[in-house]
Structure 1
Amino acid sequence: MSAHPSAHGDVKAPSPFKQPRAVWAVAFACVVSFMGIGLVDPILKSLAGQLGASPADVQLLFTSYLVVTAIAMLVTGWISSRIGAKPTLITGLVLIVLFAALAGASDSIGGIVGFRAGWGLGNALFIATSLAVIVGAASGGFAGAIVLYETALGIGIALGPLVGGILGNISWRGPFFGVSVLMAIAMVATIVFLPKLPKPTHKQKLSEPLAALKHKNLAITSITGLLYNWGFFTLLGYSPFLMGIDSPILLGLVFAGWGILVAVFSVFGAPALQRRFGTPRTLYGNFVLMAIDLAVIGIFPDQPTVVIVAVIVAGAFIGINNTLVTTAVMSIAPVERPVASATYGFVRFIGGGLAPFVAGILAEHFSAHIPFLLGALAVLVAAVVLSTVHKGLDAADRGEIAQPEKDELDRIEDADPLPEAMTVGNAD
């Protein structure tokens, strides 16, 4: 695994935004892909009303999408290591274009949920491979690549609700067709600008992502991601039902404000805090603040103004968490980065997928207090769990590389972790 700049180093890192066209093409596709996460927020109430669905039913739009994404993460490396990075990216983009359009054409909540599952499959193929390509191809080193990737995530999350609100004001079908068109454009850009890449020399086994969980560092940071995403997607999935807003545009504006804070704190806040306090301490404090924010919603779910403000403010905490938890996983895991990415994606998206559905059930059977208080507890537990790998995170901040454990040395000794991405960095 390649070294990354120390969080406390004095040497100024190159700008993460000076990149070859191939990287920008993939980053643009990432933006559109991440738009799919918050795209449906502004139309959740419209879908529930027009299709006769309960809040728990519409939460399945998140659950089917994210749980399928999680499970598919386990096979993305196996596929990519056999057909290559570019064909895997293109396959994922094709699936997203197809299933987003089919979701828009559907006439039932069950149909949309099913097509969102297919969308999740394409999303898994795309996002796992895109992270590996960007990390291997971007200028500015590992830390710069993560910032670029999280910038794409933040912009996509910010634009998703806004686009969803504008198009959803016309029809609930609009956001789905909109993403299909935008992703088709991203697919063409990826085909044109991303050069043909050689297939990896090492073919990943299907068992590797799950087997990697035997390593404490990766298992602990992945569980941290699951717990944090439980709180994250409880907020994202159920809070629209507490805001007292029926207009998709207004809901889109609320979540756009939230998403802007996600983007700003992903790109600027997280690196600054990491340099000042280090990764573990920053995350401990951030988890506590996010838990308090979720608890405020849980205590005052019947106060729309409080809910709206708390949701927007949560964007700052989520932006910091997104960047630093991803960085922690990729720097502390003693396995190749594509394997670490697949393992982490599987575990965290399981939490993200189940949380909105559970929130809907808890709110229907008990009260709206319960899901958010549970989310706050999950985020607090994430801080406790993360503390068990404190020394490893501090070592990663000092630029010390996580080394493969003894049983892995023979297998990866001669393997290049990202051979498929090496030529991309030289593209103009």
Structure 2
Amino acid sequence: MSTTTGSVWRQPAQVWAVAFACVVAFMGIGLVDPILPAIAESLKATPVETELLFTSYLLVTGLAMLITSWVSSRIGAKATLLTGLGLIVVFALLCATSGSVEAVIGFRAGWGLGNALFISTALASIVGAASGGSAAAIVLYEAALGLGIAVGPLLGGLLGEVSWRGPFFGVVVLMAIGFIAVLTLVRDKGGKREPVPFSAPFTALGRPALAILAVAALFYNIGFFVLLAFSPFPLGFGAMGIGFTFFGWGVALAVTSVWVAPVLMRRMRRTTIILTVLPLLAIDLVVAGLVVADAMWLVVCIIVGGLLLGIMNTVLTEAVMEATDLPRSVASSSYSAVRFLGGAAAPPLAALLWHHYNATVPYLFAAASVLLAALTVLLGRKVLAHIDDESEGAGEDAEAILVGDAA
């Protein structure tokens, strides 16, 4: 990775256009959080049915990731970005006008397809156009992710106070702006495209290092989405209360992903960071389960979880980028496909465990999954040795970015 000599925030207009659309796309992850209880009440849906809003979205996102590099290598990055954004606008509008929970679940699946096409191409587009090298691009991408995840619940809470349909209409407007920005500002690279074989993402998972990280991310994402998607129910807050809670969670995630994680990677090996943070996250989830009846302490656990998740997101992204010599779009698509499957399974499983036992058990289940992620990395540490060899260079890049920003 190259070293940046200027600020990560000084970027061409097309980078900011994609970054803005990234913020809105990532808002879609937490947008429905504050309105889950309202949707359940308004559409006469059970908690398990309501949690399927996450499952359909994440399941389709994950599966579609396996074909996105094949699509973008044939029609180009800009066309793929616009197709993804267009699908999100259409299906968010359909969600807003739906009359049943089954319809919203189905339209969220279509939203997931658009999300996969956009997100899988966005990182590569930012890396290709950003000034300051790939390290600066990843920091900018993680900043967009953190901001989107933080603002999504807040917007969902604000608009959800009016109607559960409000957040969906909000995404339609914002994503339409993103579509126009990408259409007018982003330029496709010239030259002949090299089509990626359809089998490339599947073959990539045969690489031991990438496979280990993907399996670890699957279990890690179960913890991530139990905390995100299940917590609104035991909190017992209204839309604004849930929105502010997960706004704080998202801000915590953004701070550690953008500023703390690069500093840690400069000082520690990537696998050491992962094997330190995952057990801490498991402890946080256990505590959340034990204090679930006390809303104030559950909020504290959610915010602390956001701090730990931010570190993990950035470190895992960096690790995947260095895990193989495959094109980054292929490696990212393969890894993301497996990772999102964990996220898709978590919300309804958490709701079922809550229904059959109590509100503590879903958090214990999440903690066990996170420990399995840590065990996967620990057992595969020899295979992952080369990603640690790259850590020193990554740390120098991270330091240069931070120094450049402070100047």
Normalised-by-shorter TM-score class: over 0.9
Give secondary structure in 2 for the equivalent of 1:201: coil
Aligned match of 1:92 = 84
Task: Please state whether the residue corresponding to 2:142 is helix, strand or coil.
Answer: helix
Counterparts of 1:223-242 in structure 2 under 5 Å?
223-242=215-234
Query: 1:373 is paired with a residue of what secondary structure?
Result: helix
2:55 corresponds to which of 54, 63, 67: 63
Verify: 1:164 aligned to 2:156, yes or no.
yes
Partner of 1:286: 277
Which moved further from structure 2: 131-140 or 256-265?
131-140
Aligned residue runs from structure 1 range 375-386, under 5 A: 375-386=366-377
Runs of 4+ displaced beyond 6 Å: none
Q: Which amino acid aligns with 2:385?
A: K
Instruction: Classify 1:295/1:13 alpha carbon distance in 2 versus 1 (closer, same or farther; 3 Å).
Output: farther
Mapped partners of 1:379, 1:15: distance in 2: 35
Name 1:205's counterpart in structure 2: 197
Distance apart, 1:190 and its partner CA: 0.5
Please state how far the C-alpha of 1:134 moved relative to its aligned partner.
1.1
The CA distance in 2 between the partners of 1:341 and 1:280, in whole Å, is: 18
Q: Which of 314, 329, 333 is 2:305 aligned to?
A: 314
Which residue of structure 2 aligns with residue 373 of structure 1?
364
Contact 2:266 2:392 in 1 (8 A): no
Residue identity opposite 2:206 in structure 1:
K
Partner of 2:295: 304
Shift of the alpha carbon at 1:244? 2.0
Task: Write the deviation string for residues 272-315 of structure 1: whole angstroms up to 9, x where unpaired.
Answer: 11112232212211111111111111223222222111011111
Give the TM-score taking structure 2 as reference length: 0.93
Aligned residues of 1:38 and 1:161 also touching (Cα < 8 A): yes
Q: Is 2:252–2:307's contact at 8 Å kept on the other side of the alignment?
A: yes
Deviations 1:316-342 (A, max 9, x none): 001111111111101122311010010
Distance 1:59 1:4 in 2: 42
Alignment of 1:175-254 (within 5 A): 175-198=167-190, 201-245=193-237, 247-254=238-245
Name whichever of 180-189 and 324-333 sits farther off: 324-333
Instruction: Please say which of residues 353-362 and 180-189 is displaced more in the overlay.
Output: 353-362
> In the alignment, is the contact (CA less than 8 A) between 1:85 and 1:199 conserved in 2?
no
Q: Does residue 16 of structure 1 match 2:13? A: no
Give the stretch that moved more between structures: 252-261 or 270-279.
Answer: 270-279
Percent identity over the alignment? 51
Partner of 1:160: helix, strand, or coil? helix
Q: Distance in 2 between matches of 1:54 and 1:198?
A: 51
Give the whole-Å Cα distance in 1 for the aligned partners of 2:194 and 2:362: 44
Q: CA deviation at 1:4?
A: 4.7
Contact kept in structure 1, 2:70 and 2:197, CA below 8 Å: yes
Structure 1 stretches lacking a partner, 5+ long: 6-11, 401-428
2:386 equivalent to 1:392: yes
**Shift in Å, 1:14:** 3.9
Report the CA distance between 1:367 and its aligned residue.
2.0
SS of aligned partner of 1:214: coil
Contact 1:217 1:392 in 2 (8 A): no
1:330-370 CA distance string (max 9 Å, x none): 11223110100100110100001111111111111222222
Gaps of 5+ in 2: 395-407
- CA distances 1:107-145 after superposition (whole Å, capped 9, x unpaired): 110010000000000000000001111122211212111
- Does the 8 Å contact 1:65/1:120 carry over to 2? yes
1:200 to partner: Cα distance: 5.3
The match for 1:31 is: 23
Contact 1:83 1:199 in 2 (8 A): no
* Residue 411 of structure 1: aligned partner: none
SS in 1 for 2:8: coil
Distance 1:288 1:13, change over 3 A: farther
**Residues 235-294 of structure 1, C-alpha deviation per residue, up to 9 Å, x if partnerless?**
11101111121x211110011011110111111011111112232212211111111111
Conserved? CA contact 1:69–1:349, under 8 Å: yes
Deviations 1:49-74 (A, max 9, x none): 11111111110010000000000001
State how far apart, in whole Å, the 2-side matches of 1:377 and 1:15 are.
40
1:84-127, Cα deviation, whole Å (9 max, x unpaired)? 11000000000000000100000110010000000000000000
> How many aligned positions are there?
391
* Cα root mean square deviation, aligned: 1.4
Question: Structure 1 CA distance, aligned partners of 2:329 and 2:160?
Answer: 36
- Asked whether the equivalents of residues 74 and 193 of structure 2 are also in contact (C-alpha less than 8 Å), the reply is no
**1:171 aligned counterpart, secondary structure:** coil
Name the residue aligned to 1:265.
256
Q: Is the 8 A contact 1:84 1:198 kept in 2?
A: no
